Amino acid sequence: MSLLSESERSGCLKILKLMSNVDLLSLSDTVTNKLIVVEDVTEARETILSFTKNAEELLKRKKVHRDIIFKYLAKEGVAMPPSSEKHQLVKRTLELWSASQTVGEEHIPGATDDIGQRAMPNTAATTADICQDTLVLGQQFCSWFFQMLNSQNPSLGHQPQDWGPQHFWSDVKLRLVARAGDEQMEEFLGAQLVSSRLLALTQEERLHFSPNLEPHGLKALTSPHGLVIVAVAGTIHRDTMCLGVFEQIFGLIRSPLEENSWKIKFVNMKIRGQDALVGAQVTAPALTCNSTELQMLCSV
């Protein structure tokens, strides 16, 4: 039977909860050679854990897709490049569980209300709960956000992730400035409108956003009142063509009534087309705003 440690069992259970019901039931049949018939998905998860010899075996199962492991690591606050292959994600996950077991920590989601202290998050947008390093906080949020947004682009062939107004505060504000010759500015207020406008960028306009998660392309800071500011620069693509660069600033606020998750309070986005770039480096664009300017947003 299972020889999983406590941290491995806890982690494997979280991964199983991210799987579709169809894949979960299929995996249950696989690990038991169809000798056990389960009644529901809860029983399927417990059966899979009971018949799994070790964590690596489970992670390498075909039904445990790469995107599932990536999403799990994102929820745990572990920053991984979006281009990571499955074997790299498996290795990092095993390292995470091994480290947790070594120090004997029992991580409880939402165990602290202080951004700078350690606690395990329970949604991809809650990385601020566990990270003292605000740069890692920003990296993880942007990795989660842009992977989710890009997954809506039909030309990429990815399974669309859970995009929607639920990730935004009801009074969220989007300010979108685009410059490709003439400058155009749009403003949207409300979770549904903001969500729909951002979705249109990838789903309808088929844009693909590639954020620069290196220090010169990303900044993150927190205010004493709980607002988290994340700013990132990156390139915009359509198919194989680079169309220009973007700079995006997010304001995040904790949502204590929804399992300690974080929601987006405002988004300021600037897009510059190729025609507006004069000798600029577009492969890894740097932020033009500085920490002082971001700090001013904390008082908004």
pLDDT tens for 10-21 read: 999 999 999 999
Q: Are residues 87 and 189 in the same domain?
A: no
9: helix, strand or coil: helix
pLDDT tier for residue 109 given thresholds of 50, 70 and 90: very low
Is 188 within 8 Å of 174 (Cβ atoms)? yes
pTM greater than the 0.85 cutoff: no
CA distance 40 to 146: 33
Structurally, the chain folds into a number of domains equal to 2
Q: Report the CATH number that the domain containing residue 183 is assigned in CATH.
A: 3.10.450.50
Strand partners of residue 209: 236
Q: Is there a domain that residue 114 lies in?
A: no
CA distance 56 to 54: 6
Q: Are residues 250 and 155 in the same domain?
A: yes
Q: Are residues 141 and 65 in the same domain?
A: no
Domain span holding position 262? 134-297
pLDDT tens for 110-145 read: 322 333 333 333 434 444 343 445 677 678 789 889
Q: Are residues 53 and 158 in the same domain?
A: no
